[in-house]
Amino acid sequence: MNKFFITIFLYLNLIAFAVANPNIQARTGILMDYDSEEILFELDPEAKIYPASMTKIMTSIIAFDLLKKNKLSLDDLFTVSENAWRLSQSGYSSMFIMINDQVSVENLLKGIIIASGNDACVALAEGIAGSEENFAEMMNEKAIEIGMTSTNFTNSSGINDPDNISTVRDIAIMSKYLIKNYPKYYELFKEKNFTWDRTGGDPIKQGNRNPLLYKNVGVDGVKTGYLAVEKYSLASSMKKKDRRLIAVVSGFATKNLRSSESLKLLNWGYRNTNTFEVSKSNETIFELETWLGDRDKIKVTTNEDYYITINKKSIRNLEVVLKYDGPIVAPIQKGEEIASLIVSSKGEIIKELPLYSAENLKKVNFFKSLVTSINYLIWGDV
């Protein structure tokens, strides 16, 4: 058998773009491609930060997880405790719920995500776990599960606590998990206003704290943060066509810098890099030549999604090839590994993906097999 190398695509003769890192005026930051998880930019990404209200991303995830598993309903009502109510009286961001109010999970989530209400966080945490301490344990268990290695949550809101810590890298991981696993509920993060028909007063209308939502540039989340010791922070996500980027930056001196610098970082990512879908699990199909099978070709696919993000100046060096010992000899069972997909740049392998048969391939009967073999011996024609 011969070793086959089939080039799928090779980019040549494209213009090279100079890629200079953006000068971001913050203490720490990261920019990640959503699909490939490639880190496009980082500024001291392992530095400890106080995540402030970005903590509320995990608070929302815990609720979304229970909703997805039908262990919680948006219509469920939780009673507001004095503990939760006091946060609405302390000068923090609030939904302005009152003691003994019966508030639905849906309204509490809107109060958390849109109005950034610390009181709503405590009411939700107590309603789900009985106490905020128990809820924080759930948050930490989820953080470990999704790969957040440098995070410790001590409360549901992110208000002052020296032990409530994270990193921009972990916040980016958490943001991707949110968007990927709860697309329906993630829609809440782009809503610009929330009106709470409060007890004992006129309804209160509050706008989303995320300044980039109002610029109509493709940003649809995620969450702002502020603590005096940490200054201003923002986890943001922008989608243009089929591509999404996630930026998390902390330590901005002002609100205006938080907005302008985050947008600059996101735009830099789109301007200087591209992401390509190399293979979609069980969707991207390749065909290989066969030998002594009941068909001349067999379909193969990967069992994982794979995307590659690359600087535009390096696109000309990108190459994707199929590699297999062929033709593929029948019989072949569906799911059998029979080839590989190799992604390389400048001769260096970036990724090698196994390819699996997407179908069964039967061997032809003895007579036809004999004729085919004789034909090959005489004519070299398979």
Catalytic residue list: 53, 56, 116
Determine how β-strand 39-43 pairs with β-strand 28-33: antiparallel
Closest-CA residue to 258 (of 212, 191, 206) = 212
Radius of gyration of the chain (CA): 27
Q: Which two tokens stand for residue 49?
A: 């930060």
Tokens of 248: 């998390």
Amino acid at the residue 351: K
Confirm if 286 and 322 have CB atoms less than 8 A apart.
yes
Burial of 312 (0-12, 13-18, 19+ CB in 10 A): middle
User: What is the CB-side half-sphere exposure of residue 121 using CA atoms within 13 A?
Assistant: 33
The b-or-e profile of 44-76 (16+ CB within 10 A means b, else e) is ebeeebbbbbbbbbbbbbbbbbbbeeeebeeee
Hey, which residues does 288 pair with through a beta bridge? 298
CA distance 251 to 248: 11
| 8-state DSSP, 292 | S
CB 128 within 8 A of CB 156: no
Fill in the DSSP letter of residue 304.
Answer: S
> Which residues are paired to 3 by β-bridges?
325
